[in-house]
């Protein structure tokens, strides 16, 4: 019996704890698309560079319950670059960064008493749970072609 319980716990841990990162992204062309380029050729800008042409509005997100916020930011930026590269942009001007990484801890205590014709019973207990919640990074930007 103990072996079966250990096996069940191991299977649960292997299948649920690592989880998977949910990464999403898209581009809405608003200008003239260009031939696709490699994502590593896309630069991220916090403010508009000189001499550029707007190509698209791009969006990317990454979410996971157990990864650090910095890891999710890196994964979302990579997806943002991939979306921009598909429409031929060599730059993205970030317009919005939205992050959520708020863990919560819940502690509860309970007591119950049951009395019936067969006797009585009393039970008490407590529980503590930690929930990282919905941890995510969402990025929006304008995909641009920067003239060099």
Domain assignment present for residue 4? The answer is no
Residue 7 lies in a domain: no
Q: How confident is the chain (148 residues) per 10-residue block, as mean pLDDT?
A: 55 51 91 98 97 97 78 92 98 92 63 65 67 77 96
For residue 92, give its domain range. Answer: 22-146
Is residue 6 in some structural domain?
Answer: no
The per-residue pLDDT for 23 is: 87
Residue 1 maps to a domain: no
Give a yes or no: residue 93 inside a domain.
Answer: yes
Chain centre to alpha carbon of residue 52: 30
- Note whether residue 9 is domain-resident: no
Judge whether 3 lies within some domain: no
Establish if 8 belongs to a structural domain.
Answer: no
pTM for the whole structure = 0.68
pLDDT of residue 13: 47
Nearest to 145 by CA among 23, 29, 24: 29
Total domains in the chain come to 1
């Amino acid at each position: 019996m103990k072996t079966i319980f250990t096996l069940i716990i191991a299977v649960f841990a292997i299948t649920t704890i690592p989880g998977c990162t949910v990464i999403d992204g898209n581009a809405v062309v608003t200008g003239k698309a260009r031939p696709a380029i490699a994502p590593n050729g896309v630069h991220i800008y916090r403010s508009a560079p000189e001499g550029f042409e707007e190509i698209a509005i791009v969006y990317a997100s990454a979410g996971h319950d157990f990864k650090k916020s910095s890891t999710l930011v890196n994964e979302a930026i990579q997806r943002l670059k991939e979306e921009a590269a598909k429409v031929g942009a060599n730059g993205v001007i970030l317009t919005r960064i939205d992050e959520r990484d708020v863990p919560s801890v819940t502690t509860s205590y309970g007591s119950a008493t049951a009395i019936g014709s067969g006797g009585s019973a009393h039970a008490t207990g407590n529980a503590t749970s930690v929930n990282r919640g919905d941890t995510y990074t969402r990025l929006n930007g304008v995909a641009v072609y920067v003239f060099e």
